[in-house]
Amino acid sequence: MINTGDTAWILISSALVLLMTPGLAFFYGGMVRKKNMLSVLMQCFIIMCVLSLQWVLFGYSLSFHPASGFWGGFGWAGLKGVGLEAYPDYAGTIPHQAFMIFQAMFAIITPALIIGAFAERMKFSAFLVFTLLWATFVYDPLCHWVWGIGGWLRNLGALDFAGGTVVHINAGIAALVTALVIGRRKNLDTNTPVPHNLPFVVLGTGLLWFGWFGFNAGSALAANGLAVNAFVVTNTAAAAAGLSWALLEWKRNGKPTMFGVASGAVAGLVAITPAAGFVSVIPAIIIGSLVSVFCFIAVSAIKPKFGYDDSLDAFGVHCVGGIWGALATGLFASKAVNPLGADGLFFGNPKQFLIQLATVLVTIGYTFIATFLIYKLVDLFIGVRVSEKEELMGLDLTQHRERAYTVLE
């Protein structure tokens, strides 16, 4: 039975999640140097174009068509059989296509998150091919394993409410791999790049926070109490994490920064994502407060120590925050919040924590290897990195023949 309230909420949520990608574009765009501003906006926007098409043509089918293998197959390619009736195995009260388009927005933002790792140095042509291959051979299978009917991680009992594993750990690990293989930006040691427009970073953070309500509360797939729970814990965790990051900076560096609060809020949103439909508000505060500690360490201590150039901390925030969120779900999940979920370790079910851990490890392992192979393949045929001269001149002019800003006029 189609429910109009549920359908309306999912359509609005889909639009909210779509807005996260332009939000991310500004979040990342503000952090790069101004000669690369358009390249980042462009990468985010072109993903909206390319992946929207990939998704309706075959991505949705590969991800969600019922099957028990590597992925879902081509049974729903071109949305054949994906109609305006409900498909109760996924969502019983909304048209099947509403579920499809809601999921499309997740498929769009996930590869966009990776941009943060290789920003300022990837060829646009290589980026396009890499993104399409990554979406097809990494995102779609993993999405199928965790959320698809017949997916083996789903059958194992893994809890991932809105995409901590599929979206954040997945993109975060891919970010680490690409940062490692593409190498550091030129002259990084003598010339530390500074964010060219922090107000854009804050604008982007605001759009992300706003859109995340669709991401998490929409994942209830109905306008019900569970959606409200997800909404409340999402806001709470983001708030706790933003404050916690500011306090950490204040203690360690003497002053709290706007950049820090923005980073913390995003980390909090990442961490609460897998847990949003399974935990209550006090665990959300704990999840949010601690994620800033872990991400802060990853970004300010681990990254400099190992020297990989994860330009905008896609790994440091999304992977680290995503792992903490997935594990925290195994700690704090409670059937009192969601009877269809499971109890976590602190509610007497240690097995759930182990399932969460296994899912995290599988994701890390598969994504690491598959991303590496895809990168090498694209590098072999196209060459991934721009020339040194192009990098120095900036990607806006060399990849797009455009400039974001002029000095005069």
Partner 1 sequence: MKKIEMIIRPEKLEIVRRSLETAGCAGIMITEIEGHGKQKGVVQQWRGEKYKVELMPKVKIDVVVRDQDVDRIIKTVIENAWTGEIGDGKVFISNIENAIRIRTGEKGENAL
Of positions 251, 348, 380, 406, contacts partner 1 by CB under 8 A:
406
**Amino acid making up residue 238:** A
Residue 176, φ and ψ in degrees, nearest 5: -60, -45
First to last CA, the chain: 58
Reported as half-sphere exposure (CB side, CA atoms, 13 A), residue 198 has a value of 9
Count CB-CB contacts under 10 A for residue 149: 16
Which segment (111-119, 135-143, 293-301, 386-394) binds partner 1 by CB under 8 A?
386-394
Residue 306 to residue 321: CA distance in whole angstroms: 19
13-34: b (≥16 Cβ within 10 Å) or e: bbebbbbbbbbbbbbbbbbbbb
Which segment (6-14, 47-55, 254-262, 399-407) binds partner 1 by CB under 8 A?
399-407
**Amino acid making up residue 8:** A
Which segment (6-14, 61-69, 365-373, 400-408) binds partner 1 by CB under 8 A?
400-408
Q: In the complex with partner 1, which residue's Cβ is closer, 305 or 406?
A: 406
Residue 72 to residue 44: CA distance in whole angstroms: 27
Of positions 77, 203, 382, 393, contacts partner 1 by CB under 8 A:
393
Of positions 49, 53, 361, 392, contacts partner 1 by CB under 8 A:
392
Which segment (71-79, 184-192, 232-240, 346-354) binds partner 1 by CB under 8 A?
184-192
Of positions 113, 394, 395, 404, contacts partner 1 by CB under 8 A:
394
Of positions 4, 155, 187, 387, contacts partner 1 by CB under 8 A:
187
Q: In the complex with partner 1, which residue's Cβ is closer, 155 or 187?
A: 187
Q: In the complex with partner 1, which residue's Cβ is closer, 154 or 400?
A: 400
| H/E run at residue 93 | strand 91-95
Q: In the complex with partner 1, which residue's Cβ is closer, 36 or 371?
A: 36
Which segment (78-86, 88-96, 294-302, 395-403) binds partner 1 by CB under 8 A?
395-403
Of positions 23, 35, 316, 378, contacts partner 1 by CB under 8 A:
35
Contact 4, 15 (CB under 8 A): no
Q: Which residues pair with 86 in a beta bridge?
A: 95
Q: In the complex with partner 1, which residue's Cβ is closer, 187 or 253?
A: 187
Residues 190-249 contacting partner 1, CB under 8 A = 190-191
Q: In the complex with partner 1, which residue's Cβ is closer, 301 or 392?
A: 392
Q: Does 403 bind partner 1 (CB under 8 A)?
A: yes
Residue 355 to residue 371: CA distance in whole angstroms: 24
Which segment (4-12, 15-23, 360-368, 387-395) binds partner 1 by CB under 8 A?
387-395
Which segment (38-46, 311-319, 372-380, 393-401) binds partner 1 by CB under 8 A?
393-401
Count CB-CB contacts under 10 A for residue 43: 25
Supply the minimum distance, in Å, between the C-beta of residue 5 and partner 1: 42
Residues 312-351 contacting partner 1, CB under 8 A = none
- Helix, strand, or coil (residue 94): strand
Contact 103, 13 (CB under 8 A): no
Residue 333 to residue 348: CA distance in whole angstroms: 10
Residue 159 to residue 11: CA distance in whole angstroms: 24
Supply the minimum distance, in Å, between the C-beta of residue 68 and partner 1: 47
Q: In the complex with partner 1, which residue's Cβ is closer, 85 or 402?
A: 402
Residues 6 or more apart whose CB falls under 8 angstroms from that of 254 comprise none
Residue 278 to residue 371: CA distance in whole angstroms: 30
Q: Does 251 bind partner 1 (CB under 8 A)?
A: no
Which segment (15-23, 145-153, 273-281, 388-396) binds partner 1 by CB under 8 A?
388-396
Supply the minimum distance, in Å, between the C-beta of residue 393 and partner 1: 5
Supply the minimum distance, in Å, between the C-beta of residue 186 and partner 1: 9
Q: Does 387 bind partner 1 (CB under 8 A)?
A: no
Q: Please give the C-alpha separations between residue 389 and each of 41, 121, 380, in angstroms, as whole numbers.
A: 21, 11, 21
Burial of 254 (0-12, 13-18, 19+ CB in 10 A): exposed
Q: Does 53 bind partner 1 (CB under 8 A)?
A: no
Q: Which residues of this protein are in contact with partner 1, per CB under 8 A?
A: 35, 187, 190-191, 389, 392-394, 397, 400-403, 406-408
